[in-house]
A and B are shown apart, each in its own frame.
Chain A
Amino acid sequence: MVNLIWVILFVIGIAFAAVNGTMDQVNKAVFEGAREAVTICIGLISVLVFWLGLMKIAEKGGILRGLSRLLGPFVRRLFPDVPKESPAMGYILSNMSANMFGLGNAATPMGIKAMEELKKLNGNRDEASRSMITLLAINTASITLIPTTVISLRLQYGSVSPTEIVGTTIVATACSTAGAILIDRYFYYRRVRKGRG
């Protein structure tokens, strides 16, 4: 599916440029898109290096295990495939907590670590497991309590009440997260019915 979407984005884009005469923008887009991607990855180095270092201390200090014990009972039902003692649970929980507090920068390394552990649980196959799809769904729905970037943006443009959107954001994010979980479950049971669960 991703293969198809990727090709379609290119083909439709180039066809459009041919008709609309925007070929020069497309040329620019190729190089600028590539540069933006590399810039993002280079920017990620600092974040990944620092937070993965810190998380290793948290793991060895038993803090991740503590977090799993504390919050695990609530989240375990979302990830029934993940064994209780697996370090994946600690990383999943830190990823979710970081997202909730709007710490996107810290959430990414933990999400990646969680994916790594989930991959080990899945026998290192290059296929997305049930739990991986669930974790991804929760992340794209991005459960948020404090949307810090948006608040600072509103502040910058002179809002009289920059934080008034916190309430609506929490409600909207709760709906999208609940929706993501339901959709994830629907697709899972559909896979099971087709015998590919």
Chain B
Amino acid sequence: MAVVTYLSLWIIPCLIAFILIVATIRKVPAYEAFVEGAKEGVGMSFAIIPYLVGMLVAISVFRESGAMEFFIDLIRPALHAIGVPADIVPLAMIRPLSGTGALGMTSDLIATHGPDSFIGRLASTMQGSTDTTFYVLTVYFGAVGIKKMGDALKVGLLADVIGIAAAITVVTIVFS
């Protein structure tokens, strides 16, 4: 544990120092280069706003109307039959849709079942092993103005299914 905490504490400052020192040795005007690159960031953040507003409003309407719960209840028995604990189903469903939603649900599951319970470990693994596909898609493609996404969404969502299945399988093998 100490090693991990240490590592995550040191990694960013060390990275910054490394970049600055190497650049200075190679005679790059560091501050000017920084400002030049940083300027791009302002425009990019604003470019993402419309895409993210559109996506997040749709997702929260879907969730708050009770539609998401309905669909989760619909597939719950099927998942239960193949050994997936019912409590984890909402997290699995919301993980690709909403990052804050998933984080809230993970902490809720850990708080109710305990971090060292099977559900707690499963929720932790699931939270760590996939990312919010809709968010990544919206932000990455939105920032550079990609309108035709091709197969990107299908690929991302199928990868999520594999990630969730892998999390359930691995946690079951290791911890039960």
Contact = CB atoms under 8 A, between A and B. Distances in A.
B129 A144 contact: yes
- Which 4 A-B pairs rank lowest in CB-CB distance, beginning with the nearest? A56-B37, A147-B128, A176-B163, A53-B38
State which size class the interface on B falls in: 35 or more
A82 interface: no
Given A28-B64, A165-B125, A176-B160, 18 more contacts: A9-B58, A17-B66, A29-B57, A52-B37, A53-B37, A61-B19, A62-B22, A112-B139, A115-B144, A136-B156, A146-B8, A147-B129, A157-B115, A164-B116, A168-B175, A172-B128, A183-B162, A191-B151
Interface string A30-62: 101110111011101100111111111111111
B145 to A, nearest CB: 6
A175 interface: yes
17 contacts: A25-B65, A33-B53, A33-B56, A42-B45, A126-B148, A127-B148, A127-B150, A128-B150, A133-B151, A133-B155, A150-B128, A159-B120, A163-B4, A165-B121, A171-B170, A173-B163, A179-B166
A33 B135 CA distance: 13
Given A29-B65, A172-B125, A157 B41 contact: no
A70 interface: no
B75 interface: no
A112 B43 CA distance: 12
A146 B4 contact: yes
Interface of B: 1, 4, 7-8, 11-12, 16, 18-20, 22-23, 26, 28, 30, 33-38, 40-42, 44-46, 48-49, 52-67, 70, 96, 100, 103, 106-107, 110-111, 114-116, 120-121, 124-133, 136-137, 139-141, 143-156, 158-160, 162-163, 166-167, 170-171, 174-175
